[in-house]
Amino acid sequence: MNKNGKRFGFVKFSCEIDAYKAVNRLNGFKLYGHSLRVNIARYNVGDRYWKKVDQGKKKASHYN
């Protein structure tokens, strides 16, 4: 909980596409009478948030 009493959490996805799908499907979803607000976490440009899952896959598009 933050100082205003709002609850929040973070979910880490192995694939950027799956993260965007989750945002599109869950943003505004009603859970126990409350609407969820779902978005991609903000991060510093220098941080590597999307990492390669295995050597054969291409890096996320904003690092190309």
Domain boundary assignment for the chain: 13-40
pLDDT, tens digit, 9 for 90 and up, residues 9-61 = 889 898 999 999 999 999 999 999 989 999 998 776 655 555 554 444 544 44
Position 36 scores a pLDDT of 92
- Give Cα 7 to chain centroid, integer Å: 16
Look at the alpha carbons of 43, 47, 49, 50 in this order and tell me if their dihedral is positive or negative.
positive
- By CB neighbour count within 10 A (0-12 exposed, 13-18 middle, 19+ buried), where does 13 fall? middle
- Whether 7 has a pLDDT exceeding 50, the answer reads yes
30 - beta bridge partners? 35
Position 64 scores a pLDDT of 39
* Cα–Cα distance for residue pair 47/64, rounded to 1 Å: 15
Position 47 scores a pLDDT of 56
